[in-house]
Structure 1
Amino acid sequence: MARYLLRVNGERREVDVDGDTPLLWVLRDELGLTGVKYGCGVGLCGACTSHVDGAAARPCVRTAADSAQTRITTIEGLSRDGDHPVQRAWRELDVAQCGYCQPGQVMAAAALLARDPDPDDAAIEEALRDNVCRCGSYPRIRAAVRRASRIMREER
């Protein structure tokens, strides 16, 4: 066991874990951030997507040791009030069906819009292609990304 200092959702958090502990388990079990979902555990489904240094990343395949010098943002830290443009668009268009994949989808969309505020459909497809939605709400997800982009432009 070792002590790691993590920067999660803008706060400094210390955890005592083995260095090879997946960041996903640190976030969920040690820090209580259960918005980060466990899906596959091998980085394929996107349910756990969070931001590491502003980019979409999969905490299930990152370790605590690898994450110590990074800025981590989970769905809980995207917006204190749930009013990030992506979250607002998701609610406005009633995107979620079962909802399990939605935190990862939202985080992937937010990372996309942070680097490309006006993505075309191909860019949206590319950014979200590895985030699996078993309910098949992909058309609503794409529409919500486009809507969030418009909200962001309107608020500039």
Structure 2
Amino acid sequence: MKKLPLLLAILFLTAIGWYFVSPWLAMKGVADAAMDGDTATLEERIDFDAMRASAREQLSDAVAAEQGRGGLLDVVGGVVAERVGREAIDRAITPTGVANIVRYGAPVVPLVPERYRSQEISWDVQREGLNSFRAFGTYEDGTPGPNLTFSRDGLGWTMTVFELPQF
């Protein structure tokens, strides 16, 4: 009978530890894999289909926001930009592209302004309930970097969404 309260206490402390520590460990694992160029680990920890879908949605929103009331040419330009952008997204959201997001702030390094390329990004992790957390990137000079969203996958975490900084 005395073992049951001890077992319950251990289970409770383990659950609390998982709740607070697992997001930080997941982000650290992705950041370490990105720094080491460990694409196999990145492939395990990232849902590339979800990342591409997120990027396509962000692209569509950006094109819609930029389209004015310029008539047919404006609409055609938006459609072309979106189609080209979708192709670029499919080619950029790879293990190497995500490693570049974590290391530099964008999937393709030339998209990052020169002054940010040499700065390290630090990550702050914030829980969003039991099923997700966000990692907020900040450059050394305090400029906001990319934001990454992780979704729970069993007892682990998978990166599913990213938002690039507005340079």
Q: TM-score range by the shorter chain?
A: under 0.3
Q: Which has the larger radius of gyration?
A: 2
Q: TM-score, normalised by structure 1?
A: 0.24
Which structure has the highest helix share of the two?
Answer: 2
Q: TM-score, normalised by structure 2?
A: 0.23
Which structure has the highest strand share of the two?
Answer: 2
